[in-house]
Structures are given as structure tokens and as C-alpha cells.
Amino acid sequence: MKMILIDLEKCYSCNNCVADCNYPLHDQKTGFKSILEEAIRKVYCRHCEDAPCVISCPTDALKKDDDLHRSSFLCTSCKTCLLACPFGVNTLETVEFKTSTCDLCPERDPICVTSCPEGAITIGDFKENIEENIYMIKEGLFVKGVHWKKQLGLTE
């Protein structure tokens, strides 16, 4: 199985994501932004006890369990979650507000890897490794970034 790793530090060095997407069923080719949003929620989202972004959503597009999930099918792009997040995790650059997806290109070469000018997206064999700041988002998708708890010194 193909595995993809997104390095968030490298990704953030780019002011505007230009990574292409060759997901055949998505006409706007923005599937990479959907996995970037998932990655940011995994590493940077504080999963607030009261979850103001979830409470503020008028369409129930955000759900909180162990993680925070957004249903792009229910999202109306009202942007209340951007205003409600006290930590600025939700931003216009990372929340696509469109139905988009990524299938990790099981039978194609992922063009996002070759089109990312920062080299933030790589293919390889990865395992979750908290010491190296590598987290599994879902099967085949990993993110590298300093977790917010590490940034505040709450974990080793």
C-alpha cells in the first residue's frame, strides 16, 4: 500500500498551496487540501472540552469524538468555525469548504508529491513515531509536525 507523509513545517513555509491533485472524480483537483485539513486537526487542534467550533456550526458539519471531524457534505461555508476557534486552527487556507477528498492515488502516481515546491509531501514507508513527531492520520496517511502539547511542554 502506498503511504504519504505531509511535513507541516515545510508545508507552512509556502504562502499559498500549489500542490496539484489528480483525483479523477474531483473537478477542482483540491483533494490535497482535504488531507492537509485532516493533518492539521490531528496535530494542532486542541480538541477543546467545550469545542466552540463544533457548537458554532449551524449545520452540524463538525463532530467531536476522540478527534474532530468535518463533513464537507454538510458544510455551507459560513465560516463560523473560523471565528469560534480560540487557537486559530481553522483558517481559510486549510479549511476547503468544498466537497473534496483524497483517495491517496492507489493506482496513480500522486501528482501532489511532484508538484509541491517545498517537498512537503513524500511517498514511502512510515510508522507513527511520537518522538520524531510523526502521526498517523488514517491508513496510508501520515503527518510530521510538532504536536501542540509538545509545543507547550505538556509532554516529553
Q: Which pLDDT score is estimated for 26?
A: 56
- Domain spans, the chain: 3-151
For 23-34, b/e burial (b = at least 16 CB within 10 A) is beebeebbbbbb
Q: Which pLDDT score is estimated for 77?
A: 75
Q: Are 73 and 99 in contact (CB under 8 A)?
A: yes
Q: Which pLDDT score is estimated for 7?
A: 92
Q: Give the three-class secondary structure for 70.
A: strand
pLDDT tens sequence for the chain (156 residues): 789 999 988 888 877 778 888 766 555 555 667 677 777 777 888 888 888 988 998 888 888 776 666 666 677 778 888 889 888 887 765 565 555 567 788 888 888 899 889 999 999 999 999 899 999 988 888 999 888 778 778 776
Beta-strand relationship, 121-124 and 68-70: unpaired
Beta-strand relationship, 68-70 and 62-64: antiparallel
E strands, 31-151, are 62-64, 68-70, 121-124, 134-138, 141-144
pTM of the model: 0.62
Write down the H helix ranges in 29-140. 31-43, 52-56, 80-84, 111-115
Q: Which pLDDT score is estimated for 28?
A: 58
What cell was used for 92? 481559510
Q: Which pLDDT score is estimated for 103?
A: 76
Q: Which pLDDT score is estimated for 70?
A: 66
